[in-house]
Amino acid sequence: MNSKKKLIAGNWKMNGRLAANEALLKALIAEIGNTACDVAVAVPAPYLAQVQSLAAGSGIAVAAQDVSQHEAGAYTGEISAAMLKDFGVCYVLVGHSERRQYHSETDVAVAEKTQRALAAGITPIVCVGETLQEREAGQTETVVKRQLAAVIHLNGHCISEVVVAYEPVWAIGTGRTASPEQAQAVHAVLRAQLSAASEHADRIRLLYGGSMNAGNAAQLLAQPDIDGGLVGGASLKASDFLQIIAAAC
C-alpha cells in the first residue's frame, strides 16, 4: 500500500448552475473538515471564479477540465494555463477520454497541454484509457502505455509532478466498472512505466476513473497501486462524493 496521501477529484463535466454549485460546495465543506486525503473539484470554466471563492480556506482544491496547448494568442475559445492560474486552479484534467473522442485530441496534444500546465505550476491529471473494442482485442496495455509514453517523452524529468488517471472508456458513464483486479492490473503497468521513466515515480499518484461510486470505492481504493479516484456523476451528489472521500481516508 502506498503511503502517499490519496486524491479524490470530482469531475462535474458539463454540469452545474450557480445556485446548484453553491449548495453542493457548502454541503461538501460542512462535512469534510480536516480530511486525511486531498479533495478537488474540476468545474466548467465559467464557474471557476465562483468555486474559487466558495472553496477558499476549505481544503477543497479547484481544478479545471481542460487547458490550451498554446500559451496565448489568436485561439478563440481556448483557455490558457496562465488564465487558470489567475483563478487559483491547482489541478487540470488533460486528455480526458471525452476530449480525445469528441474533440480529436491526439497523444501529442495531450503531452503539450501537460507541458503548459506544469510550466504554470498547475498539476495536470493526465487521463489514459482504452475503449471496449481495444480491451476485447487485448490491446489495453499497448494503448495506455502509448498514451502515457507521449507525455513522458515531452515532459521528461517533470513527469514526477503529474497525476495519472486510468479511465477505461468502456466504464465511463456506463455504469460498468473495471473490477478491482482489472483496475489494479492496469495501474501496475502504468506504475512500472513511470518507474522506468523517473527515479521519483513513487510520488506520482495514480487515480482510477471509471464509474467509481459510493458502493465500489472502498474495494478499488484498497488496491496497492490505486492512489485515489477521478469521480464523475457521483461527484455531483454531496452524499455520494462524501462517502467516496470517506473510503479514501
**Would you please indicate which residues are annotated as catalytic (active-site) residues?**
96, 167
Cα–Cα dist 168/220, whole Å: 14
Measured between its terminal Cα atoms, the distance across the chain in Å is: 13
Instruction: Let me know: does 84 contact 49? Beta carbons within 8 Å.
Output: no
Instruction: Let me know: does 124 contact 163? Beta carbons within 8 Å.
Output: yes
Point out which residues pair with 40 in neighbouring strands.
9, 61
Point out which residues pair with 92 in neighbouring strands.
64, 124
Strands 38-43 and 60-64: parallel
| Residue 73: all three cell numbers together | 494568442
Instruction: Let me know: does 210 contact 183? Beta carbons within 8 Å.
Output: yes
Amino acid at 187: H
Point out which residues pair with 11 in neighbouring strands.
42
| Residue 60: all three cell numbers together | 477543497
Cα–Cα dist 212/229, whole Å: 7
Point out which residues pair with 9 in neighbouring strands.
40, 230
Secondary structure (3-state) at 216? coil
Which residue, among 236, 241, 242, 151, has the nearest Cα to 197 in the 3D structure?
151
